[in-house]
Copies of this chain bind each other. A is one copy, B any other.
Amino acid sequence: MTLPVFGHTNPDTDAITSAIVYASLLSRLGVTAKAYRLGDLNNETSFVLKTAGVEVPDLLEALPEGTEVALVDHNESGQSISGLSGLKVTRVVDHHKLGDLSSKDPLYLRFEPVGCTGTILGKLYREHNLPIEGWEARLMLSAILSDTLHFRSPTTTDTDREMGVYLAQIAGVTDIKAYALEMFAAKSDLGDTPADKLLKLDYKVFPFGGKQYGLGVMETTNPGYALGRKAEILEAMKQEKAAKNLEGVFFSVVDILEETNQTFVLDDAHAEVIKGVFGADTQDNVADLGNRISRKKQIVPAFEKYFG
């Protein structure tokens, strides 16, 4: 039996590369595993896979009940393949909080409060005394640079920094900053991507105060692009809210060079929430959330605190 390995829906670079790398690691440990993706690649991830010379994983849509699976970079059912509770999760490598996961049998769990799943995978290679291939190192390094915004996000730990430098040597990346900027430029090159896709670039639904909120983030070196398409994106947010019966939808445009956050706000009701959660005013459907560039560390906790 081949073990399917996958990251969260609306995959980012960490979700995709961690699936590929963990499947590779497991295979070397004698566990036949295959990486999948639960959605389309963003431009940054496409750039990373191309640069590393690695194929895009197959799309996974459904699995028969009871199938054994390995999760990377997520653990909550709401961010995973549909019907996760009917599957048998035997392994999870993740750096998020623990959500609604449970198991019927003992399993492998490897969670660490670091900035990136790639950092934990790098540790696993070292613990197993396995040499890291150049392409594996590049994938893990790329995930770390992506998740930590080149070591600048508040989620970044010393472990991420050390692992990033270590992996860069193996990958032959001599100028980490230049490579990160290449990745970010690829991510920001969105062309005529439809507005509903822009909303979903990095989008997760969270329960706050018993109700569901969708939080989209666009990390970019070119925030002007999103601001220029504000009307379209607001319309996509409105449609998403209605289609999924959500209590609210927000979209944060994060300038990863300047480290700023301009969040799109649908209407007065949404503006009231933003005022309550962050004390921020909304003008022309945009609220300035200052340097809150991490959804995990700065945005979600503020919502949770506000809604108790």
A103 interface residue (CB < 8 Å to B) = yes
Interface CB pairs A-B, < 8 A, 14: A95-B106, A97-B105, A97-B106, A97-B107, A104-B301, A105-B113, A105-B301, A106-B112, A106-B113, A106-B296, A108-B111, A109-B109, A109-B111, A110-B111
B102 touching A113, Cβ below 8 Å: no
Complex-state Cα separation, A99 to B106, whole angstroms = 10
A98 touching B102, Cβ below 8 Å: yes
Complex-state Cα separation, A109 to B98, whole angstroms = 9
Q: Which residues on A are within 8 Å of B, measured CB to CB?
A: 90, 95-114, 123, 127, 296, 301, 304
B110 touching A110, Cβ below 8 Å: yes
Copies of this chain present in the complex amount to 2
**Which of B101, B123, B127 lies in contact with A98, CB distance below 8 A?**
B101
Q: Which of A106, A111, A112 has the most CB of B within 10 A?
A: A106
Task: Give the chain B neighbours of A108 by CB distance below 8 A.
Answer: 111-113
**Which of B96, B100, B127 lies in contact with A106, CB distance below 8 A?**
B96
Task: Give the chain B neighbours of A109 by CB distance below 8 A.
Answer: 98, 109-111
